[in-house]
Amino acid sequence: SFHFATRQIIFTIPALAVMLAVSFLQARQIRRMSLVLICVMLVLMVAVLYVGVEVKGARRWVSLAGLSIQPSEFLKPAFVIICAWLFAEHKRQLDIPGNLFALLLLVLVVSLLVAQPDLGQTMLVTGTWGVMFFMAGLPWLWIMALGITGASGLFAAYTVFPHVALRINKFLTGEGDTFQVDMGREALINGSWFGVGPGEGTVKRIVPDAHTDFVFSVAGEEFGLIMCFFIMSIFAFIVLRGLSIALKEHDDFTRYAVGGLVTIFGLQSAINMCVNLQLMPAKGMTLPFISYGGSSQIAIAVSMGMVLALTRKRPEKRKQMGFVLA
């Protein structure tokens, strides 16, 4: 059946249009759009806890006009932009508590994600925030404090959430129900270098999440390890190229924003592929642009559109941003 492939193509058309439209925006317009977007998504994330669609014990989707939307996907690019703006403002003018506001925003977002619960997105958002804070020149005291907090958070998740403990124990011991992970590995082995051919794979017929979490294994089985290396190379190029441009950027906001956007893109890709390769415990994380899902597809398009907009060369030199959105 080509059900998921057909729908993914349908999602890809508006996603490309969104990415193209966002890529023409100015930095000021991106900040404004992100401020509106994060406010709307925070409201929807609160609504998800009460009226959200429950899937596998988690409430992450809300139904609007017949469409299922995952607010956390759209929250991520807006969160990165707002935090980049706050970090940049603190560096520009020390009496503006931008770092504190960014920390409070992180606490709010993490609290809503844990309440769903969605610990994968929590790790993703927290890790990206840490990278951006590091780029902004965080003190060593903050590094130690954040490291201790992160370790405590992981231990708390292992203790409080049974499904987290179960997945970690499965990964460490190899015991229990590891069907999907085992089949994903077998698919990669079966595909060898050149694959069994398009549509000839078996894993997509028996693994429930083959079209989302384990699509990398499906690609490896049908198109071989050559395709896997190609996918990894494309993702690595996007991340390294983005970081290279970000580090050369003189404008603080642009540097933090681009660095954060490509970091969250790279971390999400790495987590998905590592799960497929059995390098880390199973975690419900989509592979950008490839895994099935309209929310993920369009949200990633927004992120990449922002990267293109912020790195686009302009005739006039960018001026230092003020603490206004106007």
Q: What is the pLDDT of residue 38?
A: 95
* Digit-coded pLDDT (tens) for 20-66: 999 999 999 999 999 999 999 999 999 888 887 777 666 777 877 66
Largest CA distance in the chain: 62
The two tokens of residue 213 are 């979490």
Q: What is the pLDDT of residue 136?
A: 83
256 dihedral zone (left: phi>0; alpha: psi -120 to 50; beta): alpha
* Digit-coded pLDDT (tens) for 179-225: 677 777 777 888 778 878 887 777 777 776 667 777 888 888 888 88
Angstrom distance (rounded) from CA 42 to CA 302: 17
